[in-house]
Structure 1
Amino acid sequence: MATRAERAERVERWKRSGLSAEKFARRQGYKPKQLYWWRWRLRVDGASCR
């Protein structure tokens, strides 16, 4: 299982890539839904830390 820092890095690389979630995830070897979930979880975690 990826750590929070690893998930944040993957989401950031996805954003910088300019690719769709589908293309980016498949190139990296994971499912597009994972990217969406990681992004959502990071937002939720960030909001609860404030």
Structure 2
Amino acid sequence: MNYLFDEARKKGIKRMALDTPDREFFEKFGFKEVGRIPNWYEDKDQIIMFKNL
């Protein structure tokens, strides 16, 4: 993940976004939850996350 962040910074990217049901994994890399879509998956919400680079 750090390689991805470094490459994005080199290209001038300042913010990354993702959506995932697995919030805990991406929080370890500094992503913050900014929204949810309830019941997107059968038994989980879709979580929208951002990280400032």
Give the TM-score taking structure 2 as reference length.
Answer: 0.28
More contact order relative to length (CA 8 Å, sep ≥ 6) = 2
Greater share of residues in helix = 1
Give the TM-score taking structure 1 as reference length.
Answer: 0.29
Greater share of residues in strand = 2
